Amino acid sequence: MEFEWDENKRLETLQTRGLDFRAADLFFNGRPVLQLPSPREGEDRWKTTANVEGVFYTLVWMWRGAAVRVISLRRAHEDEARAHRAIHN
């Protein structure tokens, strides 16, 4: 799977949150995820929450041709983690 992102946003997220868009493949490697539509400004965006080494993270992304375009990566909100646990535990 191919991933793309705005490099300046990746660096900002790395600096402010300590999270790297380069880890996006962890959300597409077969682990249990909670995936919900998250449309914005007429775009078909997705919000995917996954447990990575005991911590819940949420990736916001969209399809850009055959590539996954990463929009943001952050620690999951409690309601996202709770919803993930409800369907996967």
Question: What is the sign of the dihedral through the CA atoms of 30, 35, 37 and 40?
Answer: negative
In a 13 Å sphere around the CA of 77, the CA atoms on its Cβ side amount to 5
Give this prediction's pTM: 0.95
Distance of alpha carbon 52 from its chain centroid, rounded? 11
Question: What is the sign of the dihedral through the CA atoms of 35, 38, 39 and 40?
Answer: negative
Q: Distance between CA atoms of 53 and 70, rounded to whole angstroms?
A: 21
CATH of domain 2-88: 3.30.2310
pLDDT along the chain (89 residues), means of 10: 97 98 97 94 94 97 96 97 95
